[in-house]
Structure 1
Amino acid sequence: MTATGKREWTPDQLAAIRARRANILVAAAAGAGKTAVLVERIIQRLTDPEDPVSLENLLVVTFTEAAAAEMRQRIGAALEAAVARDPENEALRRQLLLLNRAHISTIHSFCLWVLRTYFYRLDLDPGFRVMDPAEADLMQLEVMDRVLEEAFAAEPDGGPVTDLADSLGGRGDANLVDLVLRVWEFSRSLPWPEAWLEQVTASYKVTPETPLESLPWYGELRQLITLELQEAAWYLEQARQAAAAPGGPAVYLENLENEKEQVTRLLEEVGDLPWEELNAKLAAVHFGRLKAARGEDVDPVLKERAGKLRNQARDLLYALKEDLCRDEAAVRAELERSGELVTTLVGLVRRFDAALREAKGRRNLIDFSDLEHLCLRVLLDEGAGPGRLQPSDVALELRQRFAEVLVDEYQDINTVQDAILTLVSRQDVAENNLFMVGDVKQSIYRFRLANPDLFLAKYRQYPEGEGGPNRRILLKANFRSRQGVVDGVNFIFRQVFSPLVGELEYDAAAALVGRAGYPENPAAATPAVEVYLQEGKVAADTGAGEPGAG
């Protein structure tokens, strides 16, 4: 704030407030004032002397009802202040009157408005009721019990469903129920769930001529192996340093250097190896017996450290070999067997979905997932196939109505919600008007099927420069925390974030910049930061001394 009480905006905040005629992604770090920026952008759109926008022509989507209420309150307070400064301004007074009718809501509230307004576009009774989550969960379990009872009754002497249940183990059918529900819930987070289910079953239909390396899971497997090899190489390097230190068990060095060379060479090759060669290379990794390290000049602490670290690398590599090393024929047999189980699972998911829709239809009920999918049906052209976001005439009508679509906490939306927002926003080169604010580092709702990859894709694709149809703006300044806290957070995040772990490189663009302006504490010129690490479980001791033969 200035001495007059007026807020001073940073250049990046001003860019986010004033940018126009583009799809804009604002990557706002913790404490960067993103809500204040979003409110100020809305106020400046409403009061623009050259091109003012009315509240009824804005769609503002927030993550929770509480956030929507706060946003509405902030906009109202800002409008009241503007009216107080210019009481004769009829346009501002009208915006205050429109505030309670403005589309400032969660995505589900917006979907509900679409369905109430355009129910006649669907086979939907306008008197429908939206179930609360507890009621929806109870209905799902009731329907699931009935579907499984019918499925088991149809195969009294055993069959595919019984086989699937047995393969999952556990007591009763709890694991089967959990798996069917999880697959069903994930499919419902996608715009075209049936197309995804088709793709899932098709991915297991592998002909003898299909190279294993071309299958969808092979790239994921390579990433996993790469991470494990990198970890093993780190353990071996730390063990080597302990052995090479004064007083260290120098007799270990020959083994450690040889073993690290094996791992490093495999790391360099893993990205290009076909299945058989990858297995052969993994199987060839060998950890020999260490020589005895005795004598008064050997430090027992360094000896124990080198031994433990080397054991960690060995155990990790041998676990990889045990899990992965098998010939191609065995893998293809496993894929065929898995394909049979997956086909049965997908069949159960479809039967459950049909039975649940029938049960809800009898009582004229819908759930939150139905809100999204029914809204999407209204907004999609009837001829649009899977993967094609072709707007219906309703979507085109809403595009004309909404001069701008503003989305808060964009990192926490799912794929079907993103499709809805894309359809109601203008995606023409000259009129792009989707404004998204979020921080992928604060995405914590994957358990609710949020898809932060949507944010990351735009973060990587959108340029920072203005003038194009898409633009990325970074809000890195933190106005909440002392510099010591900012430095501590940056230090920790640089260690844990990477494209493979955390999905983001914590570089200068992602790091926080301290701008809180707290007065200096003379008692702590260099403030210390306390970090408390909570471990879910402690790994078992791998032993020390002379590890045995590999």
Structure 2
Amino acid sequence: MTEKNSVPAWHSLVSGTDDQRAALQSEAPLTVVSAGAGTGKTQTLSQRFAWLLASDPSCGIGEILVLTFTKKAAAEMLERIKKTLSAWYSAYPDELSHLRERIESIDDAYISTIHAFAMKLIRESGLALDIDPSAAMMPAPKEDIWWREFTSALSSSSFGKISRALPGEWRGRAEELFASPDFTDVMNALTPEAVAGAARTCTEKLYCAGQSPEELWDNDGSALETSIASMKNVRRDIYSLWMNGIFPALELNGALGGGKKKTKTQERLCAFLERWRGHAPRDDGELTEFCAGLFDDVLKPLPSGGVKKDIEDIIDRPLSAWRGEFAGKLALLEPPSEAEKRINRLLRRACAVGWACWDEFRRREGLISMADLICYASKVVESSPEYRTKFKHIMVDEFQDTDPLQNALIESLWNGGRDGATLFVVGDQKQSIYRFRHADLELFRGYTARARGGGTAKYIVLGQNFRTAKRLLEKFNGLFGGMWKGESSVLYEALTAPENDAASARRDGASVPYPRFSVLRAVSPYSDEKDEKPEKRSDAAALRLRLYAGLGRRFAAMMEEKAPVWDKSAEAFRPVRWSDFAVLVQTRAEYSDIERAFERLGLPYVLSTSKDYFGRGETGDLVNMISLLASPDDPLFLAGWLASPFCGLSAGEAGALIEAAYAERGRRGPLPLAAVVRRLRPDVWERLDGMRRRALLGGVSAVLLDLLKSPSFLENYAGLRRLRVNANVVYLAGIAAEYERSEGKSLKGCAEYLLTASSSGSAKEEPELFGDGVDAVRVMTVHASKGLEFPVVALTVSDKGRAALPPVFVSKKYGVAAKDYPEYLEGAGTADGDGRTAAYRWEKAEESAAGREELERLWYVGFTRARDRLILCGIYKEPKDKDAAPPNFLGSVMESGLCDECEELTEDDAGLPKYARYESPSGGAALELKTVSPAKLARISASAYSLLSWCPAAYRMIYRQGRSAGWIVKGGGAGSDFGVLAHWVLARWDFRADGAAQWLPEKRGAEWRRVYWRLPAPLRGEYGSGAKRAELREMLVRFAATEECALLAELDGKGGGLLQRETRFRVPLNGTVLIGTTDLFWRDSGGLHLRDWKTAPEETAPSFYYEKQLEFYACALNRFLESTGECGAQIDSALIYLRGSAAAAARRYVPGDFASIEEEIEKAAVRAVSGDFRGIKERCGRCPWRGDCPEK
């Protein structure tokens, strides 16, 4: 370097456009880079990282922070930085000698997603936070199970359960909530499921917006009133438009009739005009009257003929559109009623309580959510001066998709640049499409305004696009530049082709044998012929199938013609491949129609991020198989497995076994399919039994992975589907493993979890099957395509917005609110009389506007994925009145003149093969169902019998509707887990006070660990609570002082099996099997003595319920003794209330009791399937389920 030329020689290594170089070399405390699609932002970011290290020898690897949107982007960024640093160091090893150490430690750099960075920050924080630094992420199964339990708590109005789940300061609030006179009515009307779902949404949507449960509880609803006040001038604006604009113009041009005879339309207009001429409204009441008259009398029906045309010329838009818009605005002026305010306040508070419960659960369990990562990382920075000055430079990619919680972390790290730190944010307003992930575009707009405002901040635009052909770019600019002009909220910055780039010039100068920009639309023409049958009008599904079939044929034609596409790496044209095509859709709902069309044509394709995992046939077969392992004698599960590819039998063999079982079935007995399989195919049963044992010992995940060791089942699937099935087996094993890590290796629990997820239609993404090397058409959502590019893109566009709001919705602005007035309230919403709440009208209006803006940005992202060719796709049902139809985007594109080709598909291709009807693979005889009269349960438990005896309506709620009764029937002072833990300890305790201390030690130590690891995984959390152990220990010590316990201790000490604990039974009774588990019984010279533990207080549930359980157990034991030849054995039973006075009085059964009990059990088994669930009214006052009972 010389004095004449002070620029270091290594600066020549910096590549890129002038704008890129200006950005990466910026020294401003805040630099905002607006990086359009394909403008090289990754290169700019990676070179800036290298530039910062190269230009400042004092800057270390750990002093630069780079945050990306995805793990893939972070990995790509790291690789590019490595290559850049290595290349620069190799070129100038002396001048850049300090880079050697940086290169060696580059893998320690802070280059990651913001969540990964937050986790690292928490791990490094030590004890700076009130959480365990080794806290784990919340497993999905545990989260799902917790929210089901919270829903059940709301359903049963279980204040005790919810109160115990809350931190102390929230319990008074919960008590106030449950005491509300509207609480039960609101839960019944809006459903506990809807309220719990809204609470769960709050924990993400409002949390990411920087809100808290406390803020939600204190929300007074004033935001809604503020919104209404902001529209106060609408009625006056309407008055001014008509009285000062439209009516004078109509009079001036004679449209109101003049001296001629007036039409009915003119008469209506003139009468209304005379009513208000010279009488300006004096207050809001008269303005309301004016608007009501205008919309109800003048504009309903709409004026027609010349008058309508004259009005539309004045307002420069269709009159129907104007009326619709302003009718909506007038509806927004309707204030919320007092009833709405009361209901929405209750909903906000119910969701705040649910949110607080969820926060406390995570705290107690030492688990954190994704949002927690950001929140806790922010707390680390706030509490530590070291972290506020740790980073000299912060770079954030895709900033337009940041949420308020993430922005708060970034702001705290940057600290406003007060310590000399720089913040370098890269984003693009036009590509913000993640509102559903709570992204807030206004954050990026705020930084943009700050940078464009001058001062020390810089605003730089990267506008040269290195992806898309020049002709396509020009069309994109023409289309979106026009869409986002004027008062649009989008700052549109046009994309341009590279300057002075020889390769781009060769590409853009060449001609291609296909249109660059085309439209393909499937159309259903309108016909007013009276004899046209309705089925001649194609439905949406048929139109989509026609559309994608036409698209597939165009792909196939390009392949056959070896159409040229530009190869970026080779900088030359080459023949198109299947993997060069991408079909981008707005939602996954299009996937099934694309699959049908492409499979008919035989096109290779790959679906990306399909959410139909539990809808796949192989997934259903696997879930059925796991359910069978948990219940091997269940004939439905067994039949499903026999008929599935995972069994290995042919369809004929499976059918023969099922037919044999029906042939052997008795008049009233269950289908003996398991017995038939054991006898006729012992090899099949042995394999099934082996899988069951493997599942019990090694877990469900091990069984699923074992299937792949002998993957003969894959022979039943062809082509790419075989790869999908294989991946789905592995994926389900992963889901099962996640459950097992969270809840333990419980076969029954895992089977129930998977069956619930499958039967509820839960949306679950399928695994990614293929890498970039598979030559197949890519089918994906526009969101999944972000950051990708393809030579040929087919983009399906639709003006249809997002899904409707749920019955109880969550709003960042309005908190939580009901969509409709609950039915029990009179005086529904006054606007239009449709029963909608004011909060819903406002949320819908604001969401619709924001959703439309995001939909336009989504189209832009889809457009800019294309390199050589873009095909816009859509369907269109031609309306009767085209002029009155709302505008649609695809139609406006066709009318813009920007398209090279527009084609409409009005008929299906006759040559396209149709799906044949499904034919059974087996020629076996049809199976006939046999009638059992009277129908009754094949199996009945003590709990089911007790509930049916107490009140059939309660049985219906618990067993037919799936409501949970666990907390009431089994619960102790801390819920159902407490009761189960108590029973587990009681089955092993020696009935001595010092033994209770050994099983339930006061402090954690060797004894505690010994018991902890013996416990089933679901009970370990309960056992880990010192308070719960103390509560149970006190109960047992108190019981140990009783005479009843002394007797049990003596019997237990003698050994020899005198004391039978946790004894399972299956006893037949006239075609019904009695099933259950007795807690405790023993035999002596006085007979058989049956006892049942109760950890709940005596007043928690009616004694009648428990007594019925005991007589069921006694009946089962009596029938078992009779089957062994012991008739007339003396039996007594009693309850032992561990919280009360120990044993209740024993009931001694006398001759004739059991015949009567058996008759009652048979009646209950019949009633359970008869549908007669009328409640027993006289028991309502004492019923623990009365709060949620429809019979009350």
Superposed, 1:324-473 pairs within 5 Å as: 324=332, 331=335, 334-380=336-382, 392=383, 394=384, 396-428=385-417, 431-463=420-452, 468-473=455-460
Which of the pair has the greater relative contact order for Cα pairs under 8 Å at 6+ separation?
1
> 1:63 touches 1:107 (CA, 8 Å); kept in 2?
yes
Partner of 2:756: none
Classify the secondary structure of the residue corresponding to 2:518.
Answer: coil
Cα distance in 2 for partners of 1:129, 1:544 equals: 58
**1:204-234 Cα shifts (integer Å, max 9, x gaps):** 69xxxxxx6xx135447989x99xxx9xxxx
> 1:27 touches 1:475 (CA, 8 Å); kept in 2?
yes
Aligned residue identity for 1:105: S
Cα distance in 1 for partners of 2:419, 2:211 equals: 29
Partner of 2:1084: none
> 1:282 touches 1:321 (CA, 8 Å); kept in 2?
no
> 1:411 touches 1:440 (CA, 8 Å); kept in 2?
yes
TM-aligned CA deviation for residue 164 of structure 1:
3.7
Classify the secondary structure of the residue corresponding to 2:389.
Answer: helix
Aligned residue identity for 2:202: V
Q: Unmatched 5+ residue regions in structure 2?
A: 1-11, 160-174, 242-261, 274-281, 521-795, 801-875, 885-1192
Partner of 2:42: 35
Cα distance in 1 for partners of 2:49, 2:231 equals: 43
Which of residues 193, 197, 220 in structure 1 aligns to 2:212? 193
Partner of 2:203: 184
TM-aligned CA deviation for residue 200 of structure 1:
3.5
Partner of 1:479: 466
TM-score by length of 2: 0.35
| Correspondence 1:45 to 2:52 | yes
TM-aligned CA deviation for residue 414 of structure 1:
0.7
Cα distance in 2 for partners of 1:504, 1:174 equals: 39
TM-aligned CA deviation for residue 78 of structure 1:
1.2
TM-aligned CA deviation for residue 542 of structure 1:
6.5
Cα distance in 2 for partners of 1:18, 1:525 equals: 43
Which of residues 141, 144, 150 in structure 2 aligns to 1:144? 150
Q: CA RMSD in A?
A: 4.3
Identity %, equivalent residues = 25
TM-aligned CA deviation for residue 59 of structure 1:
0.8
Cα distance in 1 for partners of 2:114, 2:413 equals: 12
Cα distance in 1 for partners of 2:366, 2:883 equals: 70
> 1:61 touches 1:107 (CA, 8 Å); kept in 2?
yes
> 2:155 touches 2:192 (CA, 8 Å); kept in 1?
no
Cα distance in 1 for partners of 2:22, 2:105 equals: 27
Classify the secondary structure of the residue corresponding to 2:131.
Answer: coil
Partner of 1:98: 105
Cα distance in 1 for partners of 2:46, 2:491 equals: 30
Aligned residue identity for 1:479: F
| Correspondence 1:494 to 2:505 | no
**1:496-527 Cα shifts (integer Å, max 9, x gaps):** 336876x3143xxx221222724234547997
Classify the secondary structure of the residue corresponding to 2:467.
Answer: coil
Q: 1:148 to 1:492 in 2, by over 3 A?
A: farther
Cα distance in 1 for partners of 2:468, 2:374 equals: 38
Partner of 2:490: 504
Aligned residue identity for 2:321: A
Classify the secondary structure of the residue corresponding to 2:132.
Answer: coil
Cα distance in 1 for partners of 2:351, 2:39 equals: 43
Q: 1:529 to 1:397 in 2, by over 3 A?
A: same
Q: Unmatched 5+ residue regions in structure 1?
A: 206-211, 231-250, 263-272, 294-301, 381-391
Partner of 1:313: 321
Cα distance in 1 for partners of 2:318, 2:452 equals: 45
Partner of 1:216: 227
Partner of 2:182: 160
Q: 1:86 to 1:495 in 2, by over 3 A?
A: closer
| Correspondence 1:76 to 2:82 | yes
Q: 1:202 to 1:345 in 2, by over 3 A?
A: same
Aligned residue identity for 1:416: L
Cα distance in 2 for partners of 1:403, 1:157 equals: 54
TM-aligned CA deviation for residue 94 of structure 1:
0.8
Cα distance in 1 for partners of 2:34, 2:386 equals: 30
Cα distance in 2 for partners of 1:157, 1:530 equals: 63
Aligned residue identity for 1:344: L
Classify the secondary structure of the residue corresponding to 1:492.
Answer: helix
TM-aligned CA deviation for residue 486 of structure 1:
1.1
Which of residues 479, 490, 513 in structure 1 aligns to 2:496? 513
Cα distance in 2 for partners of 1:25, 1:166 equals: 51
Partner of 2:518: 530
TM-aligned CA deviation for residue 488 of structure 1:
1.8
Classify the secondary structure of the residue corresponding to 2:34.
Answer: strand
Cα distance in 2 for partners of 1:277, 1:66 equals: 62
Cα distance in 1 for partners of 2:491, 2:360 equals: 47
Cα distance in 1 for partners of 2:375, 2:303 equals: 62
Cα distance in 2 for partners of 1:9, 1:514 equals: 14
Aligned residue identity for 1:455: F
TM-aligned CA deviation for residue 413 of structure 1:
1.1
Q: Which structure would you say has the larger Rg?
A: 2
TM-aligned CA deviation for residue 174 of structure 1:
3.7
Classify the secondary structure of the residue corresponding to 1:32.
Answer: coil
Q: 1:84 to 1:30 in 2, by over 3 A?
A: same
* Higher strand residue share: 2
Classify the secondary structure of the residue corresponding to 2:111.
Answer: strand
TM-aligned CA deviation for residue 8 of structure 1:
4.3
Cα distance in 1 for partners of 2:516, 2:232 equals: 41
Classify the secondary structure of the residue corresponding to 1:84.
Answer: helix
Q: 1:290 to 1:203 in 2, by over 3 A?
A: closer
Cα distance in 1 for partners of 2:110, 2:50 equals: 15
Cα distance in 2 for partners of 1:22, 1:524 equals: 47
Aligned residue identity for 1:486: L
Cα distance in 2 for partners of 1:21, 1:126 equals: 35
Cα distance in 2 for partners of 1:216, 1:280 equals: 22
TM-aligned CA deviation for residue 472 of structure 1:
1.3
Aligned residue identity for 1:514: A
Classify the secondary structure of the residue corresponding to 2:452.
Answer: coil
**1:97-148 Cα shifts (integer Å, max 9, x gaps):** 211111111111111122112141222123311135x346415523532442
Aligned residue identity for 1:160: D
